[in-house]
Amino acid sequence: MAQLTKLESLLEMGFDRNRVERAVANTEDQGIEEAMDWLTEHENDPDINEPYLPPVEKVLGGAATICTSDLTGDTANEENIQNAIDETNKRKRPLTEEEKRKQVKRLEELMRLKQVEQREQERAQEVEREKLRRRQGRELQLIHQKQQDDMKKQAERCRKDKLEDKQARQRVTEKIARDKERRAQKSGGVGPSSTAAPPQPTPSSPTSQAPLPSKKEYDESRIQVRLFDGSAITAVFKAEEPLAAVCVYVQENSNMPQGQEFTMLSPYPRHVYTEQDMETPLRELGLVPSAVLVLTKK
């Protein structure tokens, strides 16, 4: 089918003349379907709407073809030239109305099929995008769930640690209360303010020798505690009382805020007492017969 036929058919379908000329020229007059494929592929070219100018070599080549095929060198005559012109005009004859309608119908069917194919491709791409979106949503949901689980585990560990610490303090308080009750029962109500006269030592004969003094075993410890503000409080404790008794005494008899946590240490030699030392007797900690303790904030 001649180039003129393709141009007319494509122009009747509504394509721009500049685009049609470019499509027919670039497909080398292969057919209308090839021209439509070229138009679809090059729809967004920047020069698609500019007037088409054929390359010089194509124009010269076409002329040379006519001269070579229809003329016989220097022996060509006017009859041969006229025959070549008639053949060219014959190839360029316009289509009839029936041929045009058939060609337009065929082109419309081709366009419909291409549109259906394009819609199918777009639908497949949309399905793939939806699958990707759902997969990413599930991954984000799993990450969020894992973060929530980690936060719950952390909160449970903190709650358990606080409960264990509270129970340990409760045990120390109960032990101190039991020790106080036991000391009260042993004393039988006789306090240190008794005015009974101390027994008088019996005179010894000048010739009797006094025994050598032995190392004294102390049953009490005088503890001085230096508070945060530099002031100090002093109290006497039994040598077998735990260090926790000193903590309770400080909490009850100092001006520090309620619930203030602190650490006790001996300045010389320096030693910081831990939770494990709270139930150890003062004697075993080397705080008998007297000691100075310093409080520091946690």
Domain range annotation of the chain: 3-123, 220-297
Q: What is the pTM of this model?
A: 0.32
pLDDT over 70 percentage in the chain? 75
**In this structure, are residues 261 and 165 in contact, taking their beta carbons and an 8 Å threshold?**
no
The predicted model gives 127-152 an average pLDDT of 93
Q: Which of 55-59, 124-128, 162-166 has the highest mean predicted lDDT (pLDDT)?
A: 124-128
Q: In what order do the strands lie in the sheet with 270-272?
A: 232-238, 220-226, 290-297, 262-267, 270-272
Which one is predicted more confidently, 239 or 108?
239
pLDDT at 8 over 60: yes
Band of residue 242 on the pLDDT scale cut at 50, 70, 90: very high
In CATH terms, the fold of domain 220-297 is Ubiquitin-like (UB roll) (3.10.20)
Q: Would you state the pLDDT for residue 58?
A: 53
Q: Would you state the pLDDT for residue 87?
A: 58
pLDDT at 147 over 50: yes
The predicted model gives 75-85 an average pLDDT of 54
The predicted model gives 154-171 an average pLDDT of 89
Which one is predicted more confidently, 40 or 227?
227
Write down the residue that tokens 């025959």 correspond to.
Answer: 83
pLDDT at 69 over 60: no
Q: What is the rounded average pLDDT for all residues in the chain?
A: 78
